[in-house]
Amino acid sequence: MRALVTGSNGGIGTALVQRLRDDGFDVVTLDVAPPADLVLDLERDDVPALDDADVCVSNAGLTTILSPAHRMSREKWERDLAVNLSGSFRVVQACLGGMRARGFGRVVVMSSVSGAFGAPGQVAYAASKAGLVGMVRTIAAENVRRGITANAVLPGMIGTPAALGMPAEVVDRIGGRLMPMGRMGHPEEVAALVAFLVSPAAAYITGQAIGIDGGAALNTVSLGRPGADG
């Protein structure tokens, strides 16, 4: 089977490509810059029909546009949504025709815990990632009787090269809230979840938003004495 992976040159993308190849998929890569089988700017370029993709993993996205809501410029807002939301939609849409014709397909879209819980300083990013969940659930509903599943994966803080390259004081500041396990997630752990969702074992799972965040979404504040839980 053939799998398309967008954002294939990034930390999570690289892990996705390797894992799916290890699982026997013929992987087609897409990124904004080489090396990739398809070099496309999802903000500006047309996406060709991808009718031969049995699996679509939409992973490409921007994470670096920073601005609080009251200072967010129209240009920044529109760029974030153009890549993260509209770009993802156009890639999935390009794959759906072939999937519907064959009566089989697996769609996995990379959202974020920010889409579920917000992200101060990243209002456009959080909005775009929340929009992906609604998109996925709609695609799942429209295709549930056609052998096609669609799910969203919501990573927390993952130890990609970009995240590991942040200043130590930034990691320390956000670590207690975003890393209750005391560590970042590994890209390979995200890839393992995606590999499961596109496998035959996950054929009955569709329309879900699945977090992989090391407990970042949990309330870990205790009203008891520190350490009382043992």
Rounded Cα distance between 87 and 58, Å, is 9
From 125, 139, 140, 160, the catalytic residue: 125
- 204 catalytic per annotation: no
**Cα dihedral sign, 163-168-174-177:** positive
The amino acid that residue 65 corresponds to is I
3 state SS of 7: coil
Helices (H), the chain: 11-22, 74-81, 88-102, 113-117, 123-143, 161-164, 168-178, 187-197
Per-residue CA distances from 173 to 17, 34, 163, 178 (Å): 32, 34, 13, 10
Half-sphere exposure (Cβ direction) of 160: Cα atoms closer than 13 Å: 19
Contact of 57 with 195, CB cutoff 8 Å: no
Rounded Cα distance between 182 and 49, Å, is 43
- Strand pairing class (105-110; 38-39): unpaired
The residues assigned a catalytic role are 125
